[in-house]
Amino acid sequence: MGFEVHCTNYDFRAAIWARETPRQQVHPAFLNSNLFGIKTAATPAEYVYELEYAAAP
């Protein structure tokens, strides 16, 4: 992918409660996930996307 991860950090531990996934609250979850990395090469063509903007009414 041409990206080297140098460090990660997770802040604001949270418990997620949902009827669809019982006991989900016992698994670790975080509201913020931070990643610091450096771009080392060009992004492969299959991962490049074009943004599509809907026209405002």
**pLDDT score of 55:** 63
**pLDDT score of 53:** 64
Q: Please name the amino acid found at residue 30.
A: F
**pLDDT score of 1:** 72
Q: Which of these, 10, 12, 15, 4, lies nearest to 38 by C-alpha position? A: 4
Which residue has 């019982």 as its token pair? 22
Please state, in angstroms and rounded to a whole number, the distance separating the CA atoms of residues 37 and 2. 10
Helix, strand or coil, per DSSP, at residue 24: helix
- Convert the pLDDT of each residue in 5-51 to its tens digit: 999 998 888 888 888 888 877 788 888 889 999 999 987 777 767 76
**pLDDT score of 7:** 94
Which residue has 């060009």 as its token pair? 42
Domain boundaries, the chain: 3-47
Run of H or E including 44: none
